[in-house]
Structure 1
Amino acid sequence: MSPLFSRKRQESSASTGVVRVDSRTKNLVKRLHPGEIAVISHLDLDWVAAESLVEKRPAAVLNAQQSTSGRYPNQGPKLLLDAGIPLIDDLGTDVMSLKEGQIVEIRGNQVFRGDKLVAEGVRQTQETNAANMEAAKASLGVQIEAFTANTMEYLRRERDLLLDSVGVPDLKTKLAGRQVLMVVRGYNYKEDLQTLRPYIREYRPILIGVDGGADALLENGYKPDMIVGDMDSVSDAALKSGAEIVVHAYTNGKAPGLARVQELGVDYVVFPTTGTSEDITMLLADEKGADLIVALGTHATLVEFLDKGRAGMSSTFLTRLKVGGKLVDAKGVSKLYRPRITNSQVGVMMIAGLAALVAALGATAAGQTFLGIVAANLDAWWQSLRTIVG
C-alpha cells in the first residue's frame, strides 16, 4: 500500500469530538450524548454494555483494553460495528488520562489531542472481529472448565441457602400463589417488555425490577412492586416509587448499596449471598411460593453467562436448577401466550356488528322499511309494557 493511499484512508476515517471518560461503561453511558466519544476500559465488551453505548449514538468508542481478549466469543464489538460506530481497541492506560470534556481527534487507529499523539491502538472492522470470534471459539473449553469449578465452589459455600433456604429474609410483598415477572436490563429487555404487555395486563404478575430493571418498568408505565439488587444502577425515582427494597449484600455483611437507601430514607431488607442479584430474585420468588417466575433480560445461554464476565455467574446455573419448572424465559412466554377474549370484548364486538348491520340496512329502501316495521313493533311492545306496569 502506498504512503499516499494509507494517509488518505486514515484521513477519511478521522473524527473529532468531546470525550466522556469512565472505567465503568454503565456509569459512562449516563453522561454520554450523541456525537461524543466514549472512552472506556472494558475487557471483553459484553452485549449489554455495547447495547447501552449504541443507544447513545457516540461518534466512536475508544477502549483502553481489548474488546475481545480471546477467552470466549463475546458479541459486544459486533454490535457496535453493525451500528456503524468506530471501535478502537487496546489503546492502553494513556487514553484514560484524558479529561472529561476535552476535544480529541481520531485519525485511523490513533488518538490526538491537538497535535499531540495520546494513544495508538487497533481499529476493529467486521473482518478483524470475525477473526477474533473464530480464535475465541477455541478457548471455550478452558472457560467451561473454569465455569464448572466455580459452580462447585459456589455450591460448597451456599449449600444451606440453595437446599434449605437459610438466610432468605421476610418480605412484605405477598408472592404466594402469584406469578412473578422479574425484569433485568439485559439481552433485548426492551423488545421483550413490549411483547409482554398483554400478559401483564391480563395476569397482573408481581413486578420485580433487578437494579436498573426497575427503571425499565417505570419507563414503560409500570410501577415495580419490588426492587432487588446492589442499588448501583437504579434511579432515586425508582427507589422512591413505593416498591419494597431488597438490598443485595456480601456474605461478610457488607452491602455497597445500603448507604444509598438509608440516605433516601426508604424501608429495606438485606439479603446476604454470593450469588448475583438476579439469582437472589429467583430464590426469593421460589421460597415465598410464587407459582411462576418469568425472567426477562436475564442470562440464559453459556455465552451469556461468560459474557457477564464474573465467576459468580456459576450461581446463576445452580439457581436455575433449584427453581426448576417454575422458571420460564420471557421470550417463551411471548411466543406461547395468546390473550384471551374477555366477555367485555365479546360485547363490544357484538355491538359493533349490530351497528354495522343497522347502518347497512338503513342504506337501502327495503332495509329502511324493515327497520320501520321493527321500530313500530318495539314501540307497541313498550306501550303495552307501560300499561301493564302502570
Structure 2
Amino acid sequence: MRLFSAGRRPTEVADDGTITGAVQVDPRTKDLTKRLRPGDIAVIDHADLDRVAAEALAACAPAAVLNAAKSTTGRYPNLGPGILLDAGIPLIDDLGGTVMDLKNGQSVRIDGAEVYSDQELVAAGVLQDRDSLAANMAEARAGLSVQLEAFAANTMDYLNRERDLLLDGVGIPVVRTEFEGRHALIVVRGYHYKEDLAMLRPYVREYHPVIIGVDGGADAVLEAGLTPDMIVGDMDSVSDRALTSGAEIVVHAYRDGRAPGKQRVEDLGVEHVIFPAAGTSEDIAMLLADERGAELVVAVGTHATLIEFLDKGRAGMSSTFLTRLRVGSKLVDAKGVSRLYRTRISTWQLFLLAVAGLVALLVAIISTTAGQTFLGLSGAWWDDLWNFIKHLFGSS
C-alpha cells in the first residue's frame, strides 16, 4: 500500500489498485485546478476533455480523475485523456451526474470503474486505458469531416453578421491605451503559452509592446513577471488581481449588447469599455489592436486549427479565420516558438565541458612561471590557515 498526503486526509493506494481519498468537486475544470492539491481525487463534468484542462489537472498530480461526462464523445480526437494516462493518473469516465453530488473533502473509494462512499456505490463508469483510448480516437477521427462542414457553413453566416466590423471597423470602441506605431503582444492561455511567453522576454524588453491579456491570459502575463496594459474578454476566467492591476478593461459582449462580465468589473469598481462582437475574445483583441494602429500583432497561445477550436468547445472558427485575413501581414503567430529551437546539449555534456575547462585552466597555470608561483603562494596560505585552525581548537 502507498500513502501520500494532499495536506488533508492521506490518500491510500492499495496494492490491488484501489484508491481511497478525499474528493474535490467542480463542474468547471479550470476552477477546480486552482485549489486541487497533490493526492486529491478530482471530480469533473467535462465532455471532450481538452489538452489545456488535462495539462492543468496533471500538473496538480491528483490520485485519480472522475469524470461525470465522457472524456471523448467522438466529435473529434481530443488529446486530454491521453495526457492524463501518460501522467499515470487513473481516469474513470461517464460516471453520470450523481458523482457531482459528492461534497468537497468527502472520502471515497475507487475500485476499478466503481466509486463508493461508506461502502455504498455512488457511481460506475468506464476506466480508460490504452486500448479504450485508441478505440475512442479512431472513432473521433471519423467525425472530423462533419465538424469541418459545419465550420464552412458557420463562416458564411459570421461574415454576413459581422461584415461592417471586419471590413470597416464599425463598433470597435475607443480606448485610452496608445497603439499607434507600437507592437501589440496578445496572450491567450492556449498550448505552450508559458514556454512561448518565456522565450519572448528579450523581445518584450527591447520593443516594449502593448501587452493584452485575453481573460486568463492576463494572469499568465502576471505569472511571467510582466504587467498587462489591457485585458480583453468576458471576464469568466481572469482573477481579481489581474482586473485590479491597472490594466485597461475591455469587456466582450454579445452582439445585442448583453455583457455577462460587466457586473463583475463594476463590483470591483474598475473602469471599462464594452465591445459587442460575435467572435471570440482573442479575435476582438486582434481587431482592436489592428484598428487602433498597432504596427505588429504578436499572438501567443491563440487558437487557429480545427482541433484547437473543438478543444475550446467553440461552435465555429469562422471569426478567427476571417479576423486573421483582416489583420493579414501584421500578425505574427508566436505559438510554438519555444519548440522551434531546443538546445541539444544535455546536463551531462555541460558537466563534462565544465570539467574540461577546469582541467585546461589548471594545466595553463602549472605550465607558466606565474602560475607556479600562484600555486606555491596558495599552498602556503592553506598551510597557514590549517595551522591556525589546529592551534585555535587545540588551545580551546
TM-score (norm 2): 0.81
Structure 1 residue aligned with 2:250: 246
% identical aligned pairs: 68
**Greater share of helix residues, 1 or 2?**
1
Q: Is the 8 A contact 2:199 2:337 kept in 1?
A: no
Cα distance change of structure 1 residues 10 and 135 upon mapping to structure 2, 3 Å threshold:
farther
Shift of 1:287: 0.7
d(CA) in 1 for partners of 2:221 and 2:79?
A: 26
CA–CA distance in structure 2, aligned partners of residues 117 and 321 of structure 1: 54
8 Å contact from structure 1 (residues 25, 40) kept in 2: yes
Partner of 1:116: 120
User: 1:89 maps to what in 2?
Assistant: 93
Match of 2:300 among 296, 300, 305: 296
Which amino acid is 1:217 matched to?
A: V
CA contact (8 A) 1:224 1:243 kept: yes
How many angstroms apart in 2 are the aligned matches of 1:332 and 1:60?
30
1:261 aligns with 265
Judged with a 3 Å threshold, the aligned counterparts in structure 2 of structure 1 residues 36 and 333 are, in CA distance, closer, same or farther, namely: closer
Gaps of 5+ in 1: 1-8, 338-359, 366-390
Between 300-309 and 89-98, report the one with greater CA deviation. Answer: 300-309
The code of the aligned residue for 2:329 comes to G
- 2: CA distance between counterparts of 1:127 and 1:292? 46
**CA shift for structure 1 position 85:** 0.9
Q: Distance in 2 between matches of 1:215 and 1:171?
A: 21
- Counterpart of 2:165 (choices 161, 164, 168) is 161
Letter in 2 for 1:67: S
Q: Cα deviations across residues 18-63 of structure 1 (Å, max 9, x unaligned)? A: 1111211112222222111111111111111111111211111111
**Alignment-mate amino acid for residue 171 of structure 1:** V
Structure 1 residue 364, shift from structure 2 partner: 5.9
* Separation in 1, partners of 2:57, 2:180: 39
CA distance in 2, matches of 1:331, 1:262: 33
State the distance in 1 between where 2:208 and 2:191 align. 23
2:122 counterpart of 1:146: no
**CA distances 1:229-265 after superposition (whole Å, capped 9, x unpaired):** 1111111111111111101111121111111111111
* SS at structure 2 position matched to 1:231: coil
State how 1:124-139 maps to structure 2 within 5 Å. Answer: 124-139=128-143
Q: Distance in 2 between matches of 1:322 and 1:130?
A: 39
- Tell me the TM-score normalized by structure 1: 0.82
Query: What is the distance in 2 between the residues matched to 1:123 and 1:174?
Result: 53
Cα distance, 1:304 vs structure 2: 0.8
**Worse-superposed segment, 15-24 or 70-79:** 15-24
Provide, for residues 339-377 of structure 1, a one-character-per-residue CA deviation record: whole Å limited to 9, x for no partner.
xxxxxxxxxxxxxxxxxxxxx9xx867xxxxxxxxxxxx
Q: How does 1:58-97 map to 2 (within 5 A)?
A: 58-97=62-101
- 2:65 counterpart letter in structure 1: V
Q: Secondary structure at the match of 1:95?
A: helix
Q: Is the 8 A contact 1:274 1:312 kept in 2?
A: no
Instruction: Tell whether 2:329 aligns with 1:325.
Output: yes
The equivalent residue for 1:170 is: 174
How many pairs align?
335
Q: In structure 1, how many angstroms separate the alpha carbons of the residues matched to 2:16 and 2:265?
A: 49
Deviations 1:82-110 (A, max 9, x none): 11111111111111111222111111111
Aligned position for 2:319 = 315
Matched, 1:283 2:292: no
Computed over aligned residues only, the root mean square deviation of the Cα atoms, in angstroms, reads: 2.1
Aligned to 1:213, which of 217, 220, 224? Answer: 217
Q: What is aligned with 1:383? A: none
Q: Is the contact between residue 276 and residue 312 of structure 1 (CA under 8 Å) also seen in structure 2?
A: no
Equivalent of 1:45, from 45, 49, 57?
49
Q: Which position in structure 1 is the counterpart of 2:34?
A: 30
Contact 1:173-1:244 within 8 A present in 2 as well: yes
Q: Provide closer, same or farther for how the CA distance between residues 11 and 332 of structure 1 changes in structure 2, counting only shifts above 3 A.
A: closer
**Structure 2, gaps ≥5 residues long:** 1-12, 342-364, 371-396
Aligned counterparts of 2:187 and 2:234: Cα–Cα separation in 1: 15
Residue matched to 2:21: 17
Change (3 A) 1:119 1:334: closer
Q: Deviations over 1:161-206 (max 9, x none)?
A: 1111110000111111111111111111111111111111112111
String of CA shifts for 1:70-129, please: whole Å, max 9, x gaps.
111111111111111111111111111112221111111111112101111111112211
Cα contact 1:11–1:107 (8 A) shared by 2: no
Could you say if the C-alpha distance between residues 334 and 100 of structure 1 is closer, same or farther in structure 2, counting changes exceeding 3 Å?
A: closer
Indicate conservation of the 8 Å contact 2:196/2:337, yes or no.
no
